[in-house]
Amino acid sequence: MSRRAEPDCLVVVQPLGGGQRGHEMDIREVARNFYATVDTQDWDKLASLVSPDLAVHLGSANPIGFDDWRKSLTEFFVGFPDGHHVVDDCVSDANKVVTRGRFQARTPASSMVSNRAENAYRLV
């Protein structure tokens, strides 16, 4: 029997500035900053934050690596250029964080869209 990877698991390998509390990093802040990096479409910075063997699980599709994920995000932001994540709730424990939130954007025709999601991340 093969072991299935954790769904929606992104491995973040370094925190984004200022997320320190003593010697312990605040992983909830890392998650929020991670979303901000996606929203600004800073793909080079995003690449520096994730593990080289990143596996992104989207719905029931097979996992994809960083290059395919970045391509997908780039195409997605063409349709929703002002899109951004809103984190409504964030729960963390040790090196894991789960976020509940939504992606909000306006379509080119100025209609507002919002998509809710729960995501789990493991930090190393």
Q: Give tens-digit pLDDT for 36-75.
A: 999 999 999 999 888 888 888 877 788 888 999 999 999 9
Determine the Cα–Cα distance for residues 120 and 7; give it in Å rounded to an integer: 7
Contact 30, 80 (CB under 8 A): no
Contact 90, 31 (CB under 8 A): yes
What are the residue boundaries of the structural domains of the chain, listed by start? Answer: 11-123
Residues 6+ apart with CB under 8 A from 35: 85, 87, 99, 101
Q: Which residues pair with 113 in a beta bridge?
A: 105
Amino acid in position 22: G
At the top level of CATH, the class of 11-123 is: alpha beta
**DSSP code of 26?**
-
Amino acid in position 121: Y
% of the chain surpassing 90 pLDDT? 26
What pTM value is reported for the model? 0.74
Check pLDDT > 70 for residue 80.
yes
Q: What is the pLDDT of residue 96?
A: 82
% of the chain surpassing 70 pLDDT? 79
* Band of residue 119 on the pLDDT scale cut at 50, 70, 90: confident
Q: What is the pLDDT of residue 108?
A: 77
